[in-house]
Amino acid sequence: MQFNVSTLLQEPVGSTRLAEVEDEPVAVPAAGYASTVSGRARLMRTQRGVLVHADLTTHPALECARCLTSFQGEIRLLIDEEFVPLRDPVTGEAIEADPDEFRIDGRNHLDLSEAVRQYEQAALPIQPVCREDCAGLCPVCGQNLNERRCDCEQPEPEGAWAGLAALAERLRTEEHDGSPEA
Ligand SMILES: [Zn+2]
Ligand SMILES: [Zn+2]
């Protein structure tokens, strides 16, 4: 997703542009990254370059941590970054910047793709799920339980449920002999 900021760079500090984007493709081929974004962006001329405020939703391809199915995720990104041109738009002199700063290229194209990729990377869920109630895969036969049940015996419940089951078992025993042992 690129914005041509040739004109904006000729304008005084504080000048702004608003842009609405809908299903714009973003891609960083070197990082093997591709997605689409929707939302809005505000570009403001600063002393050094252009400050971008963007409220975007990306749709990365994710894999469900439970059922391993690929699905299109939805992640909201609030981007706030200054982009520095390679050359001063008035004098044509090269502008120095830190290696991790975002740059506006020599044709005055401001490309948000790398920023989107980085912000998305930071916002990705560690365990994405295709839907809240995803039933996952059968741990025995691997059947996707969202599609159909299988006949496998499910393993004993663990954690809190196991604790509750043990408690219920003990209460039942106590009812029977009436004299619980510590
Ligand atoms: Zn799933
Ligand atoms: Zn099974």
pLDDT of residue 86: 94
Q: Are 116 and 36 in contact (CB under 8 A)?
A: no
pLDDT of residue 160: 59
Domain of 93 in residue numbering reads as 2-123
Q: Are 9 and 85 in contact (CB under 8 A)?
A: yes
Strands 75-85 and 109-111: unpaired
Instruction: Please identify every stretch of the chain with a pLDDT value under 70, giving residue numbers as ranges.
Output: 154-165, 174-182
Q: Are 43 and 52 in contact (CB under 8 A)?
A: yes
- Rounded Cα gap, residues 74 and 131, in angstroms: 12
Q: How many domains does the chain have?
A: 1
**56 assigned to some structural domain:** yes
**111 assigned to some structural domain:** yes
- Rounded Cα gap, residues 12 and 5, in angstroms: 13
pLDDT of residue 94: 92
Centroid of ligand 2 to alpha carbon of 65 (angstroms):
18
**163 assigned to some structural domain:** no
- Smallest-distance ligand from the CA of 135: 1
**34 assigned to some structural domain:** yes
Centroid of ligand 2 to alpha carbon of 164 (angstroms):
25
Centroid of ligand 2 to alpha carbon of 156 (angstroms):
14
**pTM higher than the cut 0.75:** no
**135 assigned to some structural domain:** no
pLDDT of residue 150: 93
**178 assigned to some structural domain:** no
Centroid of ligand 1 to alpha carbon of 157 (angstroms):
20
- Smallest-distance ligand from the CA of 148: 2
Centroid of ligand 1 to alpha carbon of 162 (angstroms):
24
Q: Which two tokens stand for residue 134?
A: 């995803």
Centroid of ligand 1 to alpha carbon of 146 (angstroms):
8
**175 assigned to some structural domain:** no
Long-range Cβ contact pairs of 27-30 (< 8 A, separation 24 or more): 27/113, 28/113, 28/114, 28/117
Centroid of ligand 2 to alpha carbon of 154 (angstroms):
8
- Rounded Cα gap, residues 104 and 82, in angstroms: 10
Centroid of ligand 1 to alpha carbon of 168 (angstroms):
32
CB count, 10 Å around CB of 130?
Answer: 20
Find tokens 């159909």 and name the residue: 148
**130 assigned to some structural domain:** no
- CA dihedral for 8, 12, 13, 14, sign (positive or negative): negative
Centroid of ligand 2 to alpha carbon of 170 (angstroms):
30
pLDDT of residue 163: 67
Q: What is the DSSP letter of 107?
A: T
